Amino acid sequence: MMNYDIVIVGGGPAGLAAAASARKAGIDKILILERDNRLGGILNQCIHNGFGLHTFKEELTGPEYAQRYIDQVLEDKIEYKLNTMVMDISKDRIVTAMNRTDGMFQIKAGAVILAMGCRERPIGALGTPGYRPAGIFSAGTAQRLVNMEGYMPGREVVILGSGDIGLIMARRMTLEGAKVKVVAEVMPYSGGLKRNIVQCLDDFGIPLKLSHTVIDVEGKEHISAVTIAEVGPDRKPIPGTEERYTCDTLLLSVGLIPENELSKGAGVEISRITNGPVVNESLETSIPGVFACGNVLHVHDLVDYVSEEATRAGENAAKFVEAGCRETTSGEDIKLIATDGVRYTVPSTINLGRMDKMLTVRFRVGAVYKNAAVSVYFNDERVMHNKKRIIAPGEMEQVILLKDKVAAYKDLKNITIKIEQD
Amino acid sequence: MIYDVIIIGAGVTGCAIARELSRYKAEVCVLEREEDVCCGTSKANSAIVHAGYDCVPGSLMAKMNVRGNEKMDQIAEELDVPFKRNGSLVVCIHEDTLDGLQDLYDRGIANGVKGMKLLNREETLAMEPNLSDDTQGALFASTAGIISPFRLTIGFAENANKNGVDFRFNTAVENFKKDDEGIWHIRTNNGEYKTRCIVNAAGVYSDKFHNMVSEDKIHITPRRGDYYIMDKEMGSFVSKTIFPQPTAYGKGILVAPTIDGNLLAGPTAIDLEDKEATATTQDGLDQVLAGAGAHVKGLQIQRKCIRVFAGLRAHEDHHEFVLGEVKDCPDFFDAAGIESPGLSSSPAIGEYMAGLISDKYGFRKNEHFDPISKGVLNPKNLSIEERNELIKKNPAYGNIVCRCESISEGEIMDAINRPLGARSLDGIKRRTRAGMGRCQAGFCTPRQMDILHRELGLPYEKITKMGGDSYIVRERSKGGEDK
């Protein structure tokens, strides 16, 4: 069995940033395991720009953004294995992986960083009635086919769901000469970033139909049409609102699911809300020494936040290794409670002993709020009240907690984050 | 050439007959309009091996079901088909219909079904804790099982092929007539075929072919069944196949684990005219939710579903298998009206039909008949050492292509390159399960296309999901270059 201080599962933006920060923190033996044939993960197919505005203060494409981190990993001579699938992670941190040249092999890891990213929800998960012909793709699969393989799925496109990849693909397919007829979104708001709605739909005159969904798929061998209908507040179709669109392609952008089969196999506790691991302030899961970051933890809106989060995961994994692969804390955890519109928080608990001077708590809301405030309560006392013009599910929100304040508060058991309308 | 027997249809029935005929010295050919075996009813059903208690005693259905069930262990062993006798429960949730369980039990006894037991409420719930609180009792049948319908059909076909049976795909029979010398001339979209004997195993179309030659008309109704298939994390929600009490429309909406570890709920029974209408409807799916929920509690079908699908049963008006030579048309044999329990009965139907045909034509035994066929190698059944040995010999087994089901490139190459191999994504899926997992091929589609392109020399635009017009990509993107 091989031995590494830190094994990182996934060589996308999260895994790369975690590796670089763990190295910076002084860890020598780091191994990245990547299933694809290059580092960079899903960024490699995101050839549009808009990445890195926060991190690098410039607009990069996905591959350019990834390259910054790949360069760092190469410069640091961090080991990685490509075309390698991790098959199993055990709770005592033995990682089993496989590839063509090494066969199936096992690694004993001082710490494991989960950075597997997420996958797209398929049409099957929606229970959409109709046929199941060719020509139905998740937006990310289509993105790979167009941007990396160089093939167009079709010329007349309907998009179900307004997640960011769907919005980006609406523009991409249009630029490739296809006609994107409509984007239907079952919710009364988009799940994507405002800037993507403006730049990818509005600028190209592509209609976005909120509170609409696909209720029938036609075509036995290849898709030939879909029927879209308006849905009521119960998300059930409203009779009489049906509209039929002929098309040869249906793209789905109906949600991303953190890919945690390996985590579950190891016994990591998973949140029912995020579908990602439940983590503490160190981004450590319920299994000591197993950390998580990026979209495997919770789905992010911007890669900049993934990098920032993964950097912390790398630092914390390094601390764990330096402490002899042991927990370094004592005392009660402070619980973070998400309520009144806040769906979840990452992290879920804080241990003062390990808390950094500043801790970014990230979350998403469950509906669109206008002129509302993000409030933070220490026990029952409101300590923060940040007014915002708009808070939407498509954009990740954050509050920053200062260790001084948290430590100074007597008998602090719960920190509650909620949305308050004035 | 003139075949001794031509079978129309490469579903489980046609392939089972072909395999049993390959025990004899006879020239046999199977004509199939689709690009692969197992493309119709055989691919979209409950994947259940029924015990045989609900068929009318004395019917062909009863005989074939019980015999087919008995033979399934041997068939599964010989053809390397995943099969498990998980047992079934017919669950009664209304006190006033408890007598119905006794009736089913009595029928089962009359049909020769072994291993049945009537259970009271407590015994039932002890066996299957997730059943409805309304559970009153159940009929347990230990011989009921779950099987891969794909692998069974493919197993029959591959073994038939190994023993000399020809298969012609993308070959749709248009019509046929017998010449003065008693030879059938079958016209297809793919040339003419000649044979001494036709076997009609055309599923929902079996009435069409029967009625072309016989005055004694039969009528097949495509009876649609809608299904939900759930994520593998639900695979052990129930361990037995859970049936409601049967009605005039069939065995009702069941909940069952699949042999591959998913959970299945369905089917509906919706009579149609259109023999191609395999689309689910909202109404049908809602019926599945209600039906499954009535017998199994806490089942979050919509939250855990990964796919919905529908299949068409070939329902004959008398709900009976039509097996044998057509009275007013010698040398034309029907295997028609094969609906549930058709999959369970297939080993017996094959045996019965091959017996009738070989008797009539005096076929001699094929002493070279080899009953054994190996399916696509599944490395998951190997130890790490054996697996590494395999990867050393063929590194493709070290490359995982389908992450959800952990299917390697080696398995996909095996599926493509074996006799009667896969030609499409669905062909690969039915042979290996690649693309059948929770992401539903979102991840592996481009990777599988690369392998199909390389192994078959297919241009990307010609790669299909399931043959015909089911192309995946239409043309190059503006920046696309030759790979």
CATH code, domain carrying A186 = 3.50.50.60
Judge whether A235 is closer than 8 Å to chain B, CB to CB.
no
The bridge status of strand A208-210 relative to strand A179-185 is: parallel
Where residue B482 falls among pLDDT bands split at 50, 70, 90? low
Judge whether A155 is closer than 8 Å to chain B, CB to CB.
yes
The predicted structure's pLDDT at residue B189: 98
The predicted structure's pLDDT at residue A422: 75
Of the candidates A229, A249, A245, the residue with the CA atom closest to the CA atom of residue A169: A249
- Are B147 and B343 in contact, with CB atoms under 8 Å apart? yes
Measured between beta carbons, the chain A residues lying within 8 angstroms of B403 are: 35, 85
Contact B477 A128 (CB under 8 A): no
Decide if pLDDT at B478 tops 90.
no
The CA distance from B328 to the nearest CA of chain A, in Å, is 36
Contact B387 A133 (CB under 8 A): no
Backbone angles phi, psi at B476, to 5 degrees: -70, 150
Question: How many contacts does A have with B, using Cβ atoms within 8 A?
Answer: 154
- Are A378 and A299 in contact, with CB atoms under 8 Å apart? no
Number of domains making up chain A:
3
Measured between beta carbons, the chain B residues lying within 8 angstroms of A103 are: 387-388, 391-392, 398
C-alpha to C-alpha distance for B472 and B450, rounded to whole angstroms: 12
Handedness of CA B448, B452, B455, B460 (dihedral sign): negative
Beta strands in A121-204 (DSSP E): 136-138, 151-152, 156-160, 179-185
> A95 with A26, same domain?
yes
Q: Which helix (H) or strand (E) holds A89?
A: strand A85-89
> A354 with A398, same domain?
yes
Of the candidates B19, B42, B64, the residue with the CA atom closest to the CA atom of residue B322: B64
pLDDT in tens, B27-48: 999 999 999 999 999 999 999 9
User: A1, A34, A35, A98: best mutation site toward chain B, by most B Cβ within 10 Å?
Assistant: A98
Active site residue B295: no
Judge whether A186 is closer than 8 Å to chain B, CB to CB.
no
Decide if pLDDT at B253 tops 90.
yes
pLDDT in tens, B98-108: 999 999 999 99
Measured between beta carbons, the chain B residues lying within 8 angstroms of A120 are: 439, 442
Judge whether A270 is closer than 8 Å to chain B, CB to CB.
no
> A30 with A108, same domain?
yes
Contact A132 B309 (CB under 8 A): yes
Judge whether B368 is closer than 8 Å to chain A, CB to CB.
no
Where residue B193 falls among pLDDT bands split at 50, 70, 90? very high
> A248 with A126, same domain?
yes
B206, two tokens: 């079996």
C-alpha to C-alpha distance for B468 and B293, rounded to whole angstroms: 38
**Residue range(s) defining the domain that contains residue A402:** 328-421
The predicted structure's pLDDT at residue A325: 83
Judge whether B383 is closer than 8 Å to chain A, CB to CB.
no
B169, two tokens: 């795909």
Q: Pick from A253, A283, A312: which residue ends a domain?
A: A253
Q: For B304, which residue in chain A has the nearest alpha carbon?
A: A125
Contact B395 A100 (CB under 8 A): yes
β partners of residue A354: none
Q: Pick from A253, A281, A300: which residue ends a domain?
A: A253
Q: What would the DSSP string read from start to end of A64-79? A: HHHHHHHHHHHHTT-E
> A110 with A136, same domain?
no
- Let me know if A142 is exposed, middle or buried by CB neighbors in 10 A (0-12, 13-18, 19+): buried
Judge whether B410 is closer than 8 Å to chain A, CB to CB.
no
β partners of residue A182: A158
Residues of chain A with pLDDT under 50: none
Contact A152 B476 (CB under 8 A): yes
Decide if pLDDT at B169 tops 80.
yes
Which residue from A122, A154, A237 is facing B442, i.e. has the nearest CB?
A122
> A177 with A131, same domain?
yes
Q: Of B50, B210, B295, B315, which is the active-site residue? A: B50
Which residue from A119, A177, A218 is facing B439, i.e. has the nearest CB?
A119
pLDDT in tens, B373-424: 999 999 999 999 999 999 999 999 999 999 999 999 999 999 999 999 999 9
- Are A49 and A96 in contact, with CB atoms under 8 Å apart? no
- Are A358 and A402 in contact, with CB atoms under 8 Å apart? yes
Contact B474 A154 (CB under 8 A): yes
Which residue from A129, A220, A264 is facing B282, i.e. has the nearest CB?
A129
User: Residues of B numbered 271-310 whose beta carbons fall under 8 angstroms of chain A's beta carbons: which are they?
Assistant: 276, 278-282, 284-285, 302, 305-309
ipTM of the complex: 0.96
Q: Pick from A284, A302, A325: which residue ends a domain?
A: A325
Where residue B481 falls among pLDDT bands split at 50, 70, 90? low
> A111 with A258, same domain?
yes
> A153 with A96, same domain?
no
C-alpha to C-alpha distance for A383 and A414, rounded to whole angstroms: 12
Decide if pLDDT at B248 tops 90.
no
If DSSP codes are grouped into helix, strand and coil, which group holds residue A240? coil
- Are A256 and A119 in contact, with CB atoms under 8 Å apart? yes
Where residue B283 falls among pLDDT bands split at 50, 70, 90? very high
C-alpha to C-alpha distance for A66 and A143, rounded to whole angstroms: 17
Of the candidates B431, B402, B403, B430, the residue with the CA atom closest to the CA atom of residue B415: B431
> A134 with A212, same domain?
yes
For residue A308, what are the contacts with CB-CB under 8 A and spacing of at least 6?
A17, A55, A360
- Are A80 and A35 in contact, with CB atoms under 8 Å apart? no
Residue with tokens 């089993």: A96
pLDDT in tens, B361-382: 999 999 999 999 999 999 999 9
Residue type, B20: E
- Nearest 5 degrees, angle CA A397-CA A401-CA A405? 155
> From the CB of residue B55, how many other CB atoms can be counted at a distance below 10 Å?
28
pLDDT in tens, A300-326: 999 999 999 999 999 999 999 999 888
- Are B325 and B333 in contact, with CB atoms under 8 Å apart? yes
The bridge status of strand A179-185 relative to strand A156-160 is: parallel
Of the candidates B138, B108, B126, B145, the residue with the CA atom closest to the CA atom of residue B295: B138
C-alpha to C-alpha distance for B310 and A131, rounded to whole angstroms: 9
Which residue from A98, A127, A150 is facing B285, i.e. has the nearest CB?
A127
Which residue from A87, A135, A154 is facing B406, i.e. has the nearest CB?
A87
Which residue from B229, B404, B460 is facing A151, i.e. has the nearest CB?
B460
> A190 with A104, same domain?
no
- Nearest 5 degrees, angle CA A358-CA A359-CA A361? 150
Contact A102 B384 (CB under 8 A): no
C-alpha to C-alpha distance for B84 and B92, rounded to whole angstroms: 24
The predicted structure's pLDDT at residue A330: 66
The predicted structure's pLDDT at residue B249: 76
> A223 with A148, same domain?
yes
B221, two tokens: 């109704």
Contact B306 A124 (CB under 8 A): yes
> A317 with A364, same domain?
no
Contact A104 B384 (CB under 8 A): yes
